[in-house]
Structure 1
């Protein structure tokens, strides 16, 4: 029996499909409204629950052999800082504690490349060279550097998993880059597709590290179900591409016009400051924050050699991923 948290999110929903393909019995937690059945998938046992409800999690773990913890909040809005800690850190601590009470359970945790740090070093590197800073699983979190709230929450959540491992929990972690997949237009990375679909003219001269959601769930499932590895984490990234190229491929996939006007760095700095003032005055969430304005400009390249070597497989090409996403989104 498999328990999945975050089954309604991008990674979680595709993981449910992967587990169904394997013919496994799956239980998944939902918070508000129980999702409807998906055609072609084996029935999922949906149970109500909340990551902050330790007793409820213990009940959900009854009879479970493997847990995939995919639930989490992704936000760079200043007003979400406390919620990031509650969901990502406290929620993960509760999952770990519940698993520790049932010896023999294996945990597969979906972290993020944000938890690897490197932002401060990349910012310094940006001043002297455009060559990207290469980051892998051995990269150290710089405690003295400034980190955004999301990255900090994922780093602290990883510490909870490491704590569980030190107490005997069998667990592996994956650190995906920006995950691409067909999902809600207005959520997560899928907003990039919407931006291209709407034929916006502007783009920033930045780069993104990207990975196909199908690669994420297949690799996560293989590590957790098909191996006995524990106390390891794995970067999942197919590569690094300029944002202009990514948006161009997305626009082409929809038969739309690609963005053509590059926004200089100083303009992005001005825009996020104006958005910050607007959010303070209106209470609305900012469309762009300091972290999102600067993230892509930092020369970071996440290295996935470890997962390639251990599983003996490659990532899907970016062009194939974007073509698939555009087809799925156009039919939705």
Structure 2
């Protein structure tokens, strides 16, 4: 069995790569000209798996280049598609359209052309769509709403490309992780939040959201890919938690003072406007955007019963996820 992992230098991709190699699988992994392969080395070193690095077949691939994608997919049995842009900045919307939507379409078309046995697509709970506070499961249909960020829209449209592939005969599973906690570069993914708290953060948002350990995202999608299940989507959320509890646990394992003030929705709305004006002057990315202010003030619950019932999956606690991530950050920051 030969596997392809797209986005193999990202938080999820690195862990899928690590887990597949640990199982003795053959893996082809994609990177881009802007990728930092040293981050993969750090992660493998953290898990004492550096001996597996020599087993990776690295391939530089531009997911927007149809020919490169088709050439890369040729000869593989399973494709794990984790390459994506996660951003809440308006200037990144074109990138998200090209990579998240068109890039996924290219992957799906290549899988169909080369008769890949199965595609595992890493989506997001954001792709389910939101309209205010509520409880969500896999059966929820997309709802047009101002609560959906452009990132959410792009991930939903990417899922639609996968469903198109399914209709054309492609076996596929989709996973929809909540906020992913796990070891990564200091300024990327959820570790950017750890950095803010480590630098001293006095407030926490008032909302509640679903969280999951990156090891569960990797572990569950690999298990699903090797199962008989197909044409299904699965919410991956270990726990629905308040930002207050998550921020305070992060502070605990980083050994810093926890934030003590709640930032109301009104305060968050004021904050993103101030950050926007500052960003126009400094040309630096705002710390808070309109989308992040809105999302972090909402109370969204995600039902994880489907994956627990279908494959008996057991999730790692979010406290364990935070402890593991903090350990990595303190070792490599």
Q: Same fold (TM over 0.5)?
A: yes
Is the contact made by 1:116 and 1:140 (CA closer than 8 Å) also made in structure 2? yes
Call closer, same or farther: CA 1:34–1:150 in 2, change over 3 Å: closer
Question: Where does residue 159 of structure 2 map in the other structure?
Answer: 158
Is the contact made by 1:7 and 1:71 (CA closer than 8 Å) also made in structure 2? yes
Deviation of the 1:94 alpha carbon: 0.3
Paired with 1:187 and 1:154, the residues of 2 have a C-alpha distance of 19
Paired with 1:328 and 1:26, the residues of 2 have a C-alpha distance of 25
Question: Where does residue 276 of structure 1 map in the other structure?
Answer: 276
Is the contact made by 1:199 and 1:251 (CA closer than 8 Å) also made in structure 2? no
Call closer, same or farther: CA 1:196–1:143 in 2, change over 3 Å: closer
Question: Where does residue 40 of structure 1 map in the other structure?
Answer: 51
The structure 2 residue matched to 1:79, chosen from 91, 100, 104, is 91
Question: Where does residue 298 of structure 2 map in the other structure?
Answer: 298
Aligned runs of 1:31-110 on 2, under 5 Å?
31-32=32-33, 35-36=37-38, 38=44, 39-42=50-53, 43-110=55-122
Call closer, same or farther: CA 1:285–1:199 in 2, change over 3 Å: closer
Deviation of the 1:255 alpha carbon: 1.6
Paired with 2:36 and 2:70, the residues of 1 have a C-alpha distance of 20
Question: Where does residue 317 of structure 2 map in the other structure?
Answer: 317
Deviation of the 1:104 alpha carbon: 4.1
| SS of 1:109 mapped into structure 2 | strand
Aligned runs of 1:190-269 on 2, under 5 Å?
190-224=191-225, 226-269=226-269
Paired with 1:331 and 1:200, the residues of 2 have a C-alpha distance of 21
Paired with 1:273 and 1:103, the residues of 2 have a C-alpha distance of 49
**Are residues 1:18 and 2:19 paired?**
yes
Structure 2's unaligned 5+ residue stretches are 45-49
| SS of 1:72 mapped into structure 2 | coil
Deviation of the 1:290 alpha carbon: 0.7
Paired with 2:156 and 2:187, the residues of 1 have a C-alpha distance of 26
TM-score, normalized by length of structure 2?
0.92
Structure 1's unaligned 5+ residue stretches are 123-132
Deviation of the 1:257 alpha carbon: 1.1
How many residues are aligned here?
320
Question: Where does residue 7 of structure 1 map in the other structure?
Answer: 8
Deviation above 6 Å: which 4+ runs of structure 1? none
Stretch of structure 1 that moved more, 311-320 or 17-26: 311-320
Call closer, same or farther: CA 1:76–1:145 in 2, change over 3 Å: closer
Alpha-carbon RMSD across the aligned residues, in angstroms, is 1.5
Call closer, same or farther: CA 1:146–1:240 in 2, change over 3 Å: closer
Deviation of the 1:239 alpha carbon: 1.4
Deviation of the 1:147 alpha carbon: 2.4
